[in-house]
Structure 1
Amino acid sequence: MVTAATPAADWLVVAPVVVTILAGSVLVMLRSFPRLQPIIAIAAMATLVLSNSLLLVRVAAEGPLTMTMGRWLPPFGISFSADVLGATLALTASVVALAVAVYGVRDVPSGLRRFGFYPCLVLMMAGVSGAFLTGDVFNLYVWFEVLLIASFGLIVLGNGREQLDGAIRYAILNLLATTLFLIAVGYLYGLTGTLNMADITVRLRDMGGTAPVNTIAALFILAFAMKAAAFPVNFWLPASYHTPMISVAALFAGLLTKVGVYALLRVIVMLMPEQRAIYADLLAIVAIATMLIAGLGAVAQSDLRRMLGYFVITGIGAMIAGLALGTQLALAGATFYAVHSMIVSAALYLGVGLAGRVGHSFDSRALGGIYARAPWLSAVFLVLVFAIAGLPPFSGFWPKVLITEAALEQGRWLLAGSILLSGFLTTIAGGRAFALAFWRGGPFGTPDGTSDDAGLARLPAGETAWLLAPMAFLAALAVLIGLWPDTLMTLADASAMALLDPSAYVRSVFGGSP
């Protein structure tokens, strides 16, 4: 038991949760002051980015960092444990949230600020940060609940008929997944007698093959696959993500499904490695079906928001492919892909939102000529399309290379081919959307060669610059990661190594051999 005062640097592990809960509470109390809402929220998200940056630097240099609440020693006390994987995803999530908070200043009307856009955004980040940094499997469930409650508030803002329909589908599927998650946690506690992840890791390895862990692992896989929108429980995402405001859709696309993937990596790879190997073939089938069905679905869409929903699902399939392969190279690719997808998916939604403002529609058949009216928006959107498709030299290229190489090393030709084919389908869908909505002279039926943009809105220059800046910032990150991937590659490799060999994680919790 450590009785000395906690060093200031050690508080970094809980700082993201403290910052977001305090800021969210202040925003709730000041909900009658809509002009103050974005100022407080943006300041809180900037502080969150700073704290997560310092935390990542700390754990990358010194290894996992753990803080256990109160005087209850592990495994009985509630622990926060940050390693490279959790800190990397927490930092990426905070960057995306900051970009969305800035975009929301012009995207979210003053009336909807009163109904809780910024409080829900900040409190949802409390749930996301807690999920990435908790060291307790039951509290992983608790933080899932926190982010879900906040997300329910965000998805119904506006109170439109289409929004409520999408919210019902989103809520039912996520509540069902949460119920399965809680059942699995109960069974796991009954089997191991502990909820601390480090303690569970040790106990399950000591039990070997004598414990009935396979059923528990199957429940976890199903629950997290539903939250991540993997096949065959992926139908809820494209049916709901196109309904809320663009700021909300961008936040959801960038963060929520990635929390499900993170939970799969943490629980199935670190806690239950034998079960991951048992279910590897099943996970490979799920990955293939997720990628290909989502790719075909994207090609079939004319609504740009629905198309982006299928792009998100395609990325989930690639990450599950890394989980199915289970090698250090494949898991590094899955981690790299998660960071890339969080950045690019959110940016694409922000871009589509601005295109919808210019063209008065999200249907590619009713759009056209945006390139002539908004060339910078068109150029940045095209960069993001190349990135999400995995084309060089953008961020999506490297994780696909890693996962494909890992698949070829194991002789899984079908899985490797599916990754490449899904990228091809994504390129077709994104290129078609760009050609119709941005490059074409006008909406469907416009004579060839016409570039009449009379039907397009002339947004004020200040508004356009404000809305374009967060999208361009995220696109610049995608380009920088693609051109100089070494730093993220190192972090992803360290994350994969820590999942496969959690001894450092266990030592950070127990202070030595448990």
Structure 2
Amino acid sequence: MNNLLAFPMILPVVVGVLLIFVRNYPTIQRLASVVTAGVVLIISGFVLSDIQQNGIQTLHYGGWTAPFGITFVADSFAMLLVATASFISMICILYASFIKDGNREHYYLYTFMLLLLAGVNGSFMTGDLFNLFVCFEVMLLASYALMTLGGEKRQLREGLTYVLVNILSSWLFLLGIAYVYGTLGTLNFAHLSERIAEVGQPPLLTVIGILFLVVFSIKSGLVLYFWLPGSYSAVPTAVSAMFAALLTKVGVYALFRTFTLLFYHEPQVTHTLITWMAIATLIGGSVGALAYKDIRQIAAYNVIIAIGFILAGLAANTTAGIEGAIYYLVHDIAVKGLLFLLVGTIIYLTGQHALNKVSGLMTTYPLLGWIFFITVLSLGGIPPLSGFPGKFLIGQGAVSAGEYVLVFAAFASSLAVVYSLLRIFINMFFGEITIQKANQKPLSKRLMIPCMILGVFTVGLGLGMEGISPYVSSAAEVLMNPEIYIEGVLTND
């Protein structure tokens, strides 16, 4: 069973490399990529089910057990995110295969999408800080290629900012790793947790924790999100959906793992900082979503709002808050991907990205319109869709922690989400038809399949909350009780 833990990272890398040799056969590339992401999804679901029965699973490369070797760890939190990431990657690859962008396909589009998935899954499953850095870099290198693939002027301009920001954050990450190793003599998460608990997190370690807070905030778009709106709106639809769904969530995962497993002994410092950073992110994201008329920018600022909302659960530092954040993470990975697919489809059909330039789309494309409306309701947290459980539990957790300003900011941002997206829906889908029938592009039924799947997902996840509840509770239990993770890693052969 433990050998299966290698597949979520290794399989996309192997297939991605093999696809280089069939660059002239796009059909093979498309089919192999979709199947690979689907196989990883099935494997991760199987591992997740086994964890519920047998506890945390570990894989020690080369036979060196923790904390001395390279260890991959599968707990409910990691595998929930691996399964969701694999699912949304499969949908984005499917969308790309229906678009059939021959130029980008010829230059290894699917190879880089699979390498991105490998880096994301490796980041979720790695058991030590250095290999978290390595997996981050695998993910980022793939994203650099995807950011510039096609060579459009806007891509290159936004890609330069994106690369420079991530190089800076990676340098700070390495600096933090050096300080941790120099201070504690280990990089394994479980071993670090033990060592920090032994010394009680003195001021030096708290400062190192704040350094990691800065690093992962840059990567997740928490407060330091200036690079995100332009970068995510400059790439093709399938790639932007994959970016919006996954890239910032890896930074969020790292924040949760770091400040529940390692630096949790001085919450009056670290978690207070996270609280105010989450509030600032919610406010900044809301202002951006309401200020712009470019639907790409509105969608990008909604990504930022979601980051602040998820981190509100970590800031609350209660079981309900953590459970809510996990629910919302799973929801947001899928539904934010759906939002970007829908926005990209609208631009593809109309050639416009300003919400006041097009109207009357509901008459011509009713299915697209109603899926967009479901997406608005889901991201707004309207029951019984998938956004509701997470928002409710995060609010409950923040109230029980006495974080009333955080609660107000979080739910005010929900109104900003609904209003900003309803502006798109009302302005572009209703009113007088502005595109003449002769100029209307046909909407391929195949192009709607990925959107329909994700639309069904958000409804099913909301109605089937009880089905995912045991996995979320198990994940929250591990995050709130570091000794479970430590025992699972250091005593699991």
* Range into which the TM-score falls when normalised by the shorter chain: over 0.9
Shift of the 276–150 alpha-carbon distance from structure 1 to 2, 3 Å rule, reads farther
Does the 8 A contact of 1:217 with 1:275 survive in 2? no
Structure 1, unmatched stretches of 5+, are 1-8, 444-451
Q: Is the 8 A contact 1:74 1:510 kept in 2?
A: yes
In the alignment, the residues of structure 1 paired with residue 182 and residue 431 of structure 2 have an alpha-carbon distance, to the nearest angstrom, of 61
Match of 1:62 among 54, 59, 79: 54
Question: What letter corresponds to residue 72 of structure 1 in structure 2?
Answer: W
Are 1:284 and 2:267 matched, yes or no?
no
Alignment match, 2:19: 27
2:312 aligned residue: 321
TM-aligned CA distance change 1:265 to 1:245, over 3 Å: same
Contact 2:260 2:482 (C-alpha < 8 Å) held by counterparts: no
Q: Could you say which residue in structure 2 is the equivalent of 1:511?
A: 491
2:388 — aligned with what?
Answer: 397
* Matching residue of 2:263: 272
Check conservation: 2:275, 2:406, Cα contact below 8 A.
Answer: yes
2:350 equivalent to 1:359: yes
Q: Is the 8 A contact 1:213 1:275 kept in 2?
A: no
Instruction: Report the secondary structure of 1:366's partner residue.
Output: coil
Question: Are 2:75 and 1:75 aligned?
Answer: no
Matches within 5 A, 1:71-470: 71-210=63-202, 212-231=204-223, 233-443=224-434, 453-454=436-437, 456-459=439-442, 464-470=444-450
CA change 1:340–1:250 in 2 (3 A) is same
Residue identity in the other structure for 2:455? A
In structure 2, what is the Cα distance between the partners aligned to 1:44 and 1:442?
A: 42
Name the CA distance, whole Å, in 2 between partners of 1:290 and 1:210.
29
1:159 maps to a residue whose letter is G
Does the 8 Å CA contact 2:33/2:110 hold for their aligned counterparts?
Answer: yes
In 2 relative to 1, CA 41–116 (structure 1 residues): closer, same or farther, beyond 3 Å?
A: same
Moved more, 486-495 or 178-187: 486-495
CA distance in 2, matches of 1:311, 1:166: 19
Deviations 1:380-411 (A, max 9, x none): 01100111111222111111111111111122
- Cα deviation for residue 297 of structure 1 reads 0.9
Distance 2:268 2:75 in 1: 23
Deviation track 1:220-248 (CA, whole Å, cap 9, x = no partner) reads 000000111011x1111112110000111
Q: Secondary structure at the match of 1:458?
A: coil
Q: Select which of 450, 464, 467 maps to 1:484.
A: 464
Q: Among all aligned residue pairs of Structure 1 and Structure 2, give the percentage whose two residues are the same amino acid.
A: 31
Distance 1:235 1:455, change over 3 A: farther
Judge conservation of contact 1:359–1:368 (CA < 8 Å) in 2. Answer: no
Cα shift at 1:440:
2.4
Q: Secondary structure of the residue that 2:65 maps to in structure 1?
A: coil
Q: What is the letter of the counterpart of residue 484 of structure 2?
A: A
Aligned to 1:449: none
- Matched-pair contact (CA < 8 Å) for 2:65–2:71: no
TM-score by length of 2: 0.97
Taking a change above 3 Å as real, the CA distance of residues 505 and 272 of structure 1, as seen in their structure-2 partners, is same
Equivalences, count: 493
Q: Which runs of 5+ in 2 are unaligned?
A: none
Deviation at 1:182? 1.2
1:151 is displaced (CA, Å) by 0.5
